[in-house]
Amino acid sequence: MAKNYDVLDSTELIRSTKRGAIEKYYRVTIQTKGGTILTVDVDEKDYIAEKAAPILDARAVEADKILKL
């Protein structure tokens, strides 16, 4: 299966929840096959290849659909 994106960068970030807890998340910058560059926030629990790939792929496909409008 061909990927619809290439990962350009990935950065670990930390944010505070409404209840004051600290949580990590990752901001992944991708470039779609159509050339669109976008960032996708991925929760820490989903930051493994098997879970992140479908998230990134779905965003890339949607971005390229919008590009074609």
Residues 25-49 have pLDDT tens digits of: 999 999 999 999 999 999 999 999 9
Q: Please count the structural domains in the chain.
A: 1
On the question of pLDDT at 1 being above 70, the answer is no
Domain containing 32 equals 5-67
DSSP letters for 15-39: EE-TTS-EEEEEEEEEEETTS-EEE
**Residues facing residue 15 across a β-bridge:** 23
Residue 32 phi/psi, 5-degree rounding, is -80, 170
Under 8 Å between Cβ of 34 and 64 = yes
Q: What is the pTM of this model?
A: 0.88
Residue corresponding to tokens 């960068």: 9
pLDDT, one tens digit per residue, over 20-29 is 999 999 999 9
